[in-house]
A and B are shown apart, each in its own frame.
Chain A
């Protein structure tokens, strides 16, 4: 180690530091930078692989088949509105389940629950978030479809239907919505609540008219993230939505249908598995690209909302 003080004087040479330590410092910095850049490489790789396959698909497919009566890759029918409709139905149902449940649970945990109850209830909610989607799919098939959907809508509803898939996706997304919303409600400063109580407002008025508006960016972010997750959810719809082998255009949630994600898995495995030079195989990249762009847009939107919370407090 170089001595910084020579004969009682500090030399510039000595302050420059030990060459070996500086070399190691530069090397570590380079390594860390490489690791951080990897994320950009991954994004680029995702976009390139999706776009490459999508262009391949568009060059092979007859464009009129993109607007036909259904999604049947084997018969070269690639009706985009069929899988859009399936995805839309499942996500809307999912949010009808997840938004009230998630926001209600968040409001309770943040405004009503005692700190001790909150500390034990939140981990349970987070545990629910870790239930794998394939397990939720099994639950949808074995419980939600026969015990809830068929009981309420009659047993002539097929066991594979979009409604069951939507409910299951909603239950899967609920903890995420609750967790993000709760974080933003919890971040609302206590001074606001106290001011409201001081004016004589009760807890309900304080929650709904003070805390909820103050946390509105976080609540919006939670909902958007939930929608984004619901659109990308794969295994539940692959198991219970009933889209194997393709589907006709259908707007009824009580029938089976095909979603974007289920179409991709069906193309990669099982009944629809297709290889060769036709447009069927590359169509999975095309659907993947659409899915990627939709979720990217939603995620950017929610990111913007979240940033607004952070700036405020």
Chain B
């Protein structure tokens, strides 16, 4: 008995002494930290390897025939092929997001946060929005195919266009990013403290007046960040556009967006997909060049969103 107790106390004592005098690091602790750090490094290294891999092919191609690539459209001859129409098509799609999805999304978020009482209907709409945000992009493509391309053919693209128009593509993309805009706007509105609103109500403003003059200006950075991120998403999305028939090589670049609405269209990611699928090395190089342009575009948009957030973010 006595000897056991003595041994226990001896062991405990040693442990306590070691713990008190040591620097708190053990081998297991260090290995665990390094493992975690490794996962983070691997996750981030993917980005670097990817960029390096693309840039290594893309930069010589762009340097060699950048003017051809930026001034020409799709071609089955690699030497003449470029990305001009696709670039313009992608910018047109962003216009749809800005003009259609942002106002609708912000409006819906204002209703959910400022007007709606906590009823069953409200909770249902909220759950519904969250689920829409998780619906795979390709399902939106099928929606666009069924509704905008087939059902609304007379409106979106009569005749030989067969509904596969810029209008159909833009509407599809706008619907796809709508839930993202609603959710980010809701979060921004929720972060505005109640006292700001009460200040408005206190001087007799109606709810809309409070929203317009007090809530929206306070929430603007968050709303803007969400909208910009939605645009970045719209830039890179491919699957829904393929479903609504973005055809490589068709885009009326004369006359601007209004004339192009009912015409066939193409976008940067769909063009990349078309080039990647071709076996010839020349097209693979061209795909790398187009990817570099797309990535730079998306990173610039994302960077703008992050800077906006850091610049104007306010903590209440």
Contacts and interface: CB of A to CB of B under 8 A. Distances in A.
Where chain B touches its partner, the secondary structure class is helix
B65 interface: no
Contact of A138 (B38, B135, B146, B288): B288
Listed residue (A39, A105, A136, A229) with the most chain B CB atoms within 10 angstroms of its CB: A39
Nearest to A22: B206
Interface in A266-313: 268-270, 284-285, 288, 291-292, 295-296, 298-300, 302-303
Contacts of B235: 132
Contact of B239 (A36, A125, A142, A235): A235
Given A203-B29, A285-B142, A33 B47 contact: no
Given A112-B36, A132-B269, A288-B139, A36 B125 contact: yes
Contact of A35 (B107, B131, B136): B107
A238 B175 contact: no
Interface residues of A, number: 91
A34 B110 CA distance: 11
Nearest to B175: A42
B79 interface: no
B266 to A, nearest CB: 13
B43 A101 contact: yes
A39 B111 CA distance: 12
Contacts of A291: 136, 138-139
A49 B107 contact: no
Interface residues of B, number: 89
Nearest to B284: A142
B137 A234 contact: yes
Contacts of A296: 131, 134-135
Given A25-B208, A204-B28, A135 B43 contact: no
A131 interface: yes
Contact of A39 (B138, B179, B206, B208): B179
A225 B47 contact: no
26 contacts: A17-B204, A21-B209, A25-B208, A28-B208, A36-B108, A50-B139, A102-B43, A107-B36, A112-B36, A128-B46, A134-B236, A135-B272, A135-B294, A139-B50, A142-B284, A171-B43, A202-B29, A234-B136, A234-B238, A235-B273, A261-B239, A264-B141, A269-B242, A285-B146, A288-B139, A296-B134
